Amino acid sequence: MLHTLKPARGAVSKRKRVARGNSGGGGTTAGRGTKGQQSRVGKGRRWGFEGGQTPLVRRQPKLGGFKAPGRVEKEIVSLEKMDALLDAGSYTVADLRRRGLVRSGRPVKVLGNTVKKKFVLSVHAASKGAKKAIADAGGSITIVRK
């Protein structure tokens, strides 16, 4: 059944062969217009050429900077967010990931300087302010290796 299907009559037309004489309707300039670089045969304009206007690539600022090859980017968790979303208790990195505070598999660092609840945390890193705030609230932070 499907193998008998054909396009409607006149729906498919032959490809127009240009530059094969004027009688075919595509002779003389062959759809390229008259004169100019684009009408000539051979290599065209280079990639990114904008007709003499300063190209987009050159209009962008030169970004400097340096990233150390051995750097380890950490996932950051704020104490304020933990205070708002979690109950007091003991939490590991896996617990934080399960509760949606951490997404990636990168090492976890706790930042912040205010906390009201008592947390016992096992994370990869913590700021001085976070350590002090958790200690002041009666909790503790254990630094674990990735």
- pLDDT tens series, the chain, 146 aa: 899 999 999 999 999 999 999 998 899 999 999 998 888 888 788 899 999 999 999 999 998 889 899 999 999 999 999 999 999 999 999 999 999 999 988 999 999 989 999 999 999 999 999 999 999 999 999 999 87
Tokens 């008592």 map to which residue?
118
The DSSP line for 4-27 is: G--PPTTSS-PPP--SS-GGGT--
Burial class (CB in 10 A: 0-12, 13-18, 19+), 133: buried
Q: Are the beta carbons of 134 and 115 closer than 8 angstroms?
A: yes
Within 8 A by CB and 6+ apart from 121, the residues are 90, 91, 92, 110, 134, 139, 140, 141, 142
Provide the token pair at 9.
């009559």
3-state secondary structure of 89: strand
Within 8 A by CB and 6+ apart from 45, the residues are 37, 38
CA pair distance 78, 111, nearest whole angstrom: 5
Walk me through the domains of the chain, giving residue ranges and CATH numbers.
75-143 (3.100.10.10)
